[in-house]
């Protein structure tokens, strides 16, 4: 689930301390942008969709560890609407855990857990995260 700042801004990865956007622009070797409209265009250009595993939950603060009363998004309908999806990357172990708790993998899709891009995930350096996230660019580039 998005954190408080992302919810307030109505933007994926809206917290300035989160490295998601910097990592994405880095792995695709493009100039970083702070414009949310340009960020969305960047994702569309590279055929990348963002979607939360959970559609709703109760949570105090922004920590995934404090999530209760969660409801998963409808992945069956999502895959029916977008049958060409071949790769799903979870942005954390928590996202993967919630997905696997409530649904099953869809045939023909590969699933991979990547390290959280949160600035609070200090156990892995920015450069290490970039290296691990390069699989997204490699996968996207293979689609062209």
**What are the chain's domains?**
4-141 (3.40.470.10)
Residues noted as catalytic: 18
pTM: 0.84
Q: Which residue has better confidence, 134 or 143?
A: 134
Give the relative orientation of helices 36-45 and 20-27 as an angle to the nearest 10 degrees. Answer: 40
Contact 64, 91 (CB under 8 A): no
> What pLDDT score was predicted for residue 56?
78
Q: Give the mean model confidence (pLDDT) for residues 69-74.
A: 90
Residue 78: other Cβ atoms inside 10 A: 13
pLDDT above 70 for 122: yes
Contact 34, 28 (CB under 8 A): no
Q: Which of 68-72, 112-116, 137-141 has the highest mean predicted lDDT (pLDDT)?
A: 112-116
């Amino acid at each position: 689930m998005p954190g408080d700042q992302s919810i307030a801004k109505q933007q994926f990865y809206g917290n300035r301390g989160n490295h998601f956007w910097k990592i994405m622009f880095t792995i695709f070797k493009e100039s970083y942008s702070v414009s949310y409209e340009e960020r969305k265009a960047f994702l569309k250009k590279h055929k990348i969709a963002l979607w939360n595993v959970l559609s709703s939950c109760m949570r105090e603060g922004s920590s995934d560890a404090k999530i209760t009363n969660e409801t998963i998004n409808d992945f069956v309908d999502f895959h029916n609407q977008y049958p060409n999806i071949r790769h799903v990357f979870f942005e954390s172990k928590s996202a993967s855990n919630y997905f696997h708790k409530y649904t099953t993998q869809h045939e023909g899709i590969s699933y991979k857990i990547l390290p959280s891009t949160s600035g609070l995930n200090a156990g892995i350096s920015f450069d290490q995260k970039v290296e691990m996230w390069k699989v997204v660019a490699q996968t996207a580039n293979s689609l062209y």
